[in-house]
Amino acid sequence: MTRHTCTHLRFGRATSGFTLTEVLFGVIILALGLLGVGAVIPGVIAQQRVANESALAVNALNEAEQALTENPALWSIYETDSTGAGTTQGLGQRLLDPIWSADQEWDVSRRDIDLMTGDLRVPPPGMLAAGAEQAVYFQADRLWPKPPHDGTPKFIWDVVFRRSTPSDPTLRVGPHRVQMAIFLRRVDPGIKLSPGAMYTLYEALEHAAGVSGGDYRLAAAADSAGMPTFRGVATGGLLRYSVPITLDVTYDDMYRDRIRLQSSQFDPTITPEQVFAVGSKNQIIVDNLGTVYRVKNVTSVNGGSPTMGSDILLFVDPPVGKGVESSNSNNPATLFQIAATVQPPVAVRVIDMVIQDEVVTYGTGSGLR
């Protein structure tokens, strides 16, 4: 018998590949996904940067507040002998001046800051009364962070003052109620030093020994119109510090979210460019009642985008307090002035103080960032 051997060949089921259409569709889906991720990442990074800056700003403001509140030379008013003759230190001299902040307005008119160095001297040399002493905050004292670090400070703070309630300047013992507003700004981002300079940015801002005069820089520099240069110097290497300013405003209590910024300012040193810059979205301002606002939006009084030389409506958050009457009223608690910096600050903090019997009591700071 013939034996038959059968060989069974098993053929697996053929696996089909992706069609060209499917591949192209997958590529499109992947590309769209990458585009979506690419669009989200910058926003996430920006949010992280803002959050990080906000945290750093709190630290910087805390340090500024400490420097101001723990300085015994800033507000002291004391008697030197039994006759009652007195000597004052720093801003204590102003408390005895009936003209100073007579309407509880912010006072920057005396220009305490040396425009060439950025140093804050209170009172300034030309206004120092006999027997009075200065409180001095050099530009380097107001930088944050300070060494030891990489030599690149991020922020500079400035301060303005006002009487928060009327007080009798003839009463040395007080009580004198005062507010100070601390403005925290970024150090000019475009500062450059000479090629090969062997010193840090902090040392150039400190005007330290060994720094070439051509490399002296200011943390917040301004041009001849008072506008920021963002380079630490003005044209031609001139040094001109960008000081806080006060501006005239009006307010209608029918529209609590709006403050009208006047194009025509009583102070002749204020330029139209500065008014226009302060009247911009995302500015932070503080009114003459000590309330801090963020500008949410702006428009000209006649509608449309503001132009230089026009009155500007500032839409503010939070709204003006309910107890504040229109600017044309006879109520002393009316809104007629704001303090600001031309460069939008990172944050502003307002601190209340009571000076009585040589004791200065400080309240908790409030503000925006």
Q: Classify strands 245-250 and 337-340 as parallel, antiparallel or unpaired.
A: antiparallel
Task: Write the single-letter amino acid at 238.
Answer: L
C-alpha 341/C-alpha 344 separation (Å) is: 6
**What is the structure's pLDDT at 303?**
83
pLDDT classification of 10: cutoffs 50, 70, 90: very low
pLDDT classification of 190: cutoffs 50, 70, 90: very high
Using omega within 30 degrees of 0 as the cis cutoff, is the peptide bond preceding 345 cis? no
Integer distance in angstroms from the first to the last C-alpha of the chain? 103
For residue 346, give both structure tokens: 């990172």
Query: How many Å separate Cα 245 from the centre of its chain?
Result: 12
Q: Is 213 exposed, middle or buried (0-12, 13-18, 19+ CB in 10 A)?
A: exposed
Tell me if 246 sits within 8 A of 106, measured CB to CB.
Answer: yes
**Average pLDDT rounded to a whole number, residues 65-76:** 80
Angle (nearest 5°) at CA 202 between 200 and 205: 115
**Average pLDDT rounded to a whole number, residues 114-138:** 78
Query: How many Å separate Cα 110 from the centre of its chain?
Result: 20
Q: What are the φ and ψ backbone dihedral angles of 176, each rounded to 5 degrees?
A: -115, 120
pLDDT classification of 232: cutoffs 50, 70, 90: very high
Residue of 84, 63, 238, 226 lying closest to 141 (CA atoms): 63
Task: Write the single-letter amino acid at 159.
Answer: V
For residue 314, give both structure tokens: 């500032």
Helix H segments across 113-256?
201-206
Reply yes or no on whether the pLDDT at 356 is more than 80. Answer: no
Query: Which of 12-26, 79-93, 228-242, 342-356 shows the lowest mean pLDDT across its residues?
Result: 79-93
Which residues share a beta bridge with 260?
Answer: 250, 313
pLDDT classification of 153: cutoffs 50, 70, 90: very high
What element of type H or E holds 340? strand 337-340
User: Three-class SS string for 4-59?
Assistant: CCCCCCCCCCCCCCCCHHHHHHHHHHHHHHHHHHHHHHHHHHHHHHHHHHHHHHHH
**What is the structure's pLDDT at 256?**
95
Residue of 362, 356, 361 lying closest to 77 (CA atoms): 356
What element of type H or E holds 79? strand 77-79
Mapping DSSP to helix (H, G, I), strand (E, B) and coil, where does residue 206 land?
Answer: helix
**Extended beta strands in 164-244, E state:** 176-186
C-alpha 238/C-alpha 217 separation (Å) is: 9
Delimiting residues of CATH 2.40.30 domain(s) in the chain: 245-340
Q: Dump the DSSP string for 297-336.
A: EEEETTSSS--TTS-EEEEEESPPPTTPBPTTSS-SSB--
Query: Which of 35-39, 51-55, 275-279, 343-347 shows the lowest mean pLDDT across its residues?
Result: 35-39
Count of CB atoms within 10 A of residue 341's CB?
Answer: 24
| pTM, full prediction | 0.82
**What is the structure's pLDDT at 261?**
95
Q: Measuring CA to CA, how many Å separate 227 from each of 4, 163, 263, 271, 282?
A: 105, 28, 16, 9, 17
Q: Classify strands 347-356 and 366-368 as parallel, antiparallel or unpaired.
A: antiparallel
Nearby residues of 2 by Cβ (< 8 Å), 6 or more positions away: none
Query: Which of 82-91, 149-158, 203-212, 333-342 shows the lowest mean pLDDT across its residues?
Result: 82-91
Q: 245-340 belongs to which CATH class? A: mainly beta
Angle (nearest 5°) at CA 108 between 103 and 111: 140
Calculate what percentage of the chain has a pLDDT beyond 90: 45
For residue 129, give both structure tokens: 């009364």
Residue of 360, 363, 364, 348 lying closest to 60 (CA atoms): 348
Reply yes or no on whether the pLDDT at 12 is more than 60. Answer: no
Query: Which of 5-9, 129-133, 213-217 shows the lowest mean pLDDT across its residues?
Result: 5-9
